Structure 1
Amino acid sequence: MSGTSEQDVIVVGGGLIGIASALGLRQLGLSVLLLDEGDVAHRAARGNFGLVWLQSKGGGSGDYVRWTRRSIDHWPDFSRELTELTGIDLGYRRPGGYHLCLSDTEFASRSALVDRIAPNQPDDAKTVMLDAAEVRRRIDGVGEGVVGASYNELDGDCNSLALFRALHEGFNRLGGRYKPSVRVDAVERDGGAYRVRTGEDSFGASKVVFAAGLGLNRFAGQVGMPEIVRPQRGQIIVTERLRPFLSMVFSQIRQLPNGTVLIGDTKEDAGFDNGTTSIIMRELAERAVKTLPHLANVNIVRAWGALRVLTHDGLPCYEEAPDWPGVFFATSHSAVTLAPGHAREFARWVAFGEAPPDLLGFSSARFRAAA
């Protein structure tokens, strides 16, 4: 079977980036096989907060701001079309988003971040700082410890689990092939195409997309690219169901449509340990009560940890491997926000070679230079 391909594209990785890319490729008419290691993998989607978020993106990268902004602009149509295809409501909304500050030090730090980002943000998408009086005018019930907030009117959220389910359902309905519980070992040249090895099996394709999260480094090494990603742990606690009280979108506290409240946003260097710690749980709870005092007497029903996928500089990485034409790599820690961009613009790059100009600067070459 040398030089043959059973499908146009193999996508390795069934997380949010992989499935969004696979769906987009099917929508463009390509035959696609999605190979997914499954729940034994470190799924970043387990810890996703569901934010569709612009306000903190792009300190030092105008390209990242533009890429994020375009994806956010795609979200209304993307959500509607995916719901029409699958019947699954993604729960997308865009009421504007707040990052609340609980001390003068936090406010000063957030203000400095907003100032750094401002030159890269378009005039109609600026993040602004709000003082305590303005926060209380806009939001009922915030605690006395809230000293201010950053705000961007384009920010919003969605039901990330519904998004994940809808992407998989849409891919299936469009005739995509999905093989779960498959661990990919290697990619090899096969004439003018490629073969992906999985134990005793192999699959051929003209092109391969690696969207394997924390597994990317292994495949990058096989095609002569440097290490790309590292893990960062986040922990989340979830309350019992409460009557609706939080229509706003906060970066660290969300009330879901079922009434439960998510509390999170920790950032920890813990290697591949995705567990929870009592210290962090206490810090999250204390911060939540300081932000919204009426949460003091609610019950916590579960908690978990998950591993984010970060590059070494926190920016995305998109690349067609320099010496392996047709082999692509994709990773970003903003997989929900960027889902429409992956399904539309990144998929067109893979399918037709139409690389969005502001993605070309996100290659792994920057990590090789820093090594």
Structure 2
Amino acid sequence: MSHRLKVVIVGAGIVGAATARVLARSGCDVTVLDRGASAGGTSSGGEGNILVSDKGPGAELRLTQRSLAAWARVREELRDELPAGFPDLEFEHKGGLVAATTATGAEALLAFAASQRTAGVVAEVVDAHRAHELEPDLTRDLTAAVLYPQDAQVQPVIATEALLAAARRHGARIRQGVEALGPVLSGPTITGVRTSAGPIPADAVVIAAGPWSGDVAARFGVTLPVRPRRGTVLVTARMRQRVFHKVYDADYVGAVGSGAADLMVSSVVESTAAGTVLIGSSRERRGFDDRIEARVLAALAAKAMLLFPFLAGVQVIRAYGGFRPFVPDHLPVIGEDPRLPGLWHATGHEGAGIGLSLATADLLHDQLLGLATGDDLGHEFRPDRPSLTPHLEGAAA
């Protein structure tokens, strides 16, 4: 190309990393900025889920299905792009098992699974005998269960660092400890970024700062309704493996789709390669308050024991939390901001950013480079979509 497109990406989490890699592979001049360490925010605070089980038919499910295919492809590509000895991504199609313990929960779960099957999701209704073959320690108080064999998981920090390492191999620069302060403008158009380390020229700026994206967007003179949604996870002591899938109660889907600010807790239980068990999940909007509270831990533990009674006798060794990027209409924001030419967004994935990172990067790549995609999926996530427009205010500074 006669002019290499200069792209500055704000945020070195997994979405920024995936975007940097795919753009650098296409020959773009890419710089990634992060005011902290890479994978230091939301990407380090989750379980690495790539789930179809919690998504109904629609744009986000289609993006997830595209991302699952992308993970299979990119895993193979990274074998050639990473140095020998780089840690394994720990990608695993471990599958998900969703369990209901009430008649109301069973009715909702079975109806939801039926709708998903119409969109190509493998959602297998299993009886109690089969459920206990899959998970011998699961509660006997089952009213329904659905197996989702397509659900997968990846180690999120390793995956982020792998994508960044591959981006570097293709010429990208990763600048940690550098903060984006605002745009450099030529008339109404971005020509660079003001940073704590001086200006950086850019034809395009991508905000991929997770729950901090709203704050970053404000520095560029636009309002973006991305807010932090707090989550907390309990970690048990190591034990022999007694949980074999990602197992969660049927309330989880409702919690994911809720816009409530108050504390919501549903049970999500899974084992790790290290032999611990992770117990989630809570959702609460309280700004960037990062305190871990006893009331949340108690609620998580109580819910988990309803699914796996044996957990009552297991020691918890620690708890950790993080912030998901919440958007009012529960869809990611991907695409160019019509209020400021040259400003792009790749954020708002809430708890699905790990899984959706590769498909998000591919969408943004095609849009930035003006490539025809053959479908209209990207339009579903544009910043000026009708469901988000009421929440948008502000023009270029």
TM-score (norm 2): 0.82
Q: How does 1:138-217 map to 2 (within 5 A)?
A: 138-190=134-186, 194-199=191-196, 201-217=198-214
SS in 2 for 1:185: strand
User: What corresponds to 1:22 in structure 2?
Assistant: 20
SS in structure 1 opposite 2:301?
helix
Shift of residue 118, structure 1, vs aligned partner: 5.3
State the match for 1:280 in structure 2. 296
Query: Residues 301 and 150 of structure 1: is their aligned pair in 2 closer, same or farther, counting only changes over 3 Å?
Result: same
- Larger deviation, residues 264-273 vs 148-157: 148-157
CA distance in 2, matches of 1:280, 1:203: 43
Please give the alpha-carbon distance, in whole angstroms, between the structure 1 residues aligned to 2:33 and 2:198: 12
Gap regions ≥5 residues in structure 1: none
Partner residue in 1 for 2:242: 245
Determine whether 1:339 maps to 2:337: no
Q: Which residue number in structure 2 is paired with residue 304 of structure 1?
A: 320
1:360 aligns with 2:376: no
Q: Unaligned regions of 5+ residues in structure 2, if any?
A: 249-267, 393-397
What's the offset of the Cα at 1:26?
1.1
Aligned to 2:274: 258
| Structure 1 segment 56-205 matched on structure 2, within 5 A | 56-58=54-56, 62-86=58-82, 87-114=86-113, 117=116, 119=118, 121-122=119-120, 125-190=121-186, 194-199=191-196, 201-205=198-202
Question: 1:9, 1:163 → 2: CA distance?
Answer: 22
Q: How many residues align?
A: 362
The 10-residue stretch of structure 1 (254-263 or 194-203) with the greater mean CA deviation from structure 2: 194-203
What are the residue-to-residue correspondences of 1:229-240 with 2, within 5 Å?
A: 229-240=226-237
The alpha carbon displacement at 1:317 in A equals 1.0
One-letter code of the match for 2:89? L
Secondary structure, counterpart of 1:361 in structure 2: helix
TM-fit CA distance, 1:45: 1.7
* Aligned-partner Cα distance in 1 for 2:327–2:108: 23
Give the TM-score normalised by structure 1.
0.87
Supply the distance in 1 between the matched residues of 2:73 and 2:197 (Cα, whole angstroms): 42
For the residues of structure 1 that align with 2:164 and 2:390, how far apart are their CA atoms?
37
RMSD: 2.7
3-state SS, counterpart of residue 202 of structure 2: strand
Give the drift of 1:226.
3.9
Contact 1:82 1:88 in 2 (8 A): no
Whether contact under 8 Å (2:13, 2:39) holds in the other structure is no
Q: Is the partner of 1:245 in helix, strand or coil?
A: coil
Q: 1:183 to 1:285 in 2, by over 3 A?
A: same
Residue type of the partner of 2:54? S
The 1:183/1:340 distance shift into structure 2, 3 A limit, reads: same
SS at 1:337 equivalent: helix
Name 2:306's counterpart in structure 1. Answer: 290
Cα shift at 1:137:
3.9
Report the alpha carbon displacement of residue 57 of structure 1 after superposing the two structures with TM: 1.5
Q: 1:104 offset after TM fit, Å?
A: 3.2
| Contact 2:182–2:220 under 8 Å retained in 1 | no
Q: Deviations over 1:196-250 (max 9, x none)?
A: 1124611111111111122322444466654221111111011112223333232
Give aligned-pair identity as a percent: 27
Is the alpha carbon distance of 1:200 and 1:294 closer, same or farther for their aligned partners in structure 2, counting shifts above 3 Å?
closer
In the alignment, is the contact (CA less than 8 A) between 1:214 and 1:229 conserved in 2? Answer: yes
Using the TM superposition, give the Cα deviation of residue 49 of structure 1 relative to its aligned residue in structure 2, in angstroms. 1.6
Q: Is contact 1:102–1:145 with CA below 8 Å preserved after alignment? A: yes
Pick which of 251-260 and 351-360 moved more: 351-360
Q: Work out whether residues 190 and 343 of structure 2, in 8 Å CA contact, stay in contact via their aligned partners in 1.
A: no
Change (3 A) 1:207 1:145: same
Question: 1:110/1:178 Cα in 2 relative to 1: closer, same or farther (>3 Å)?
Answer: same
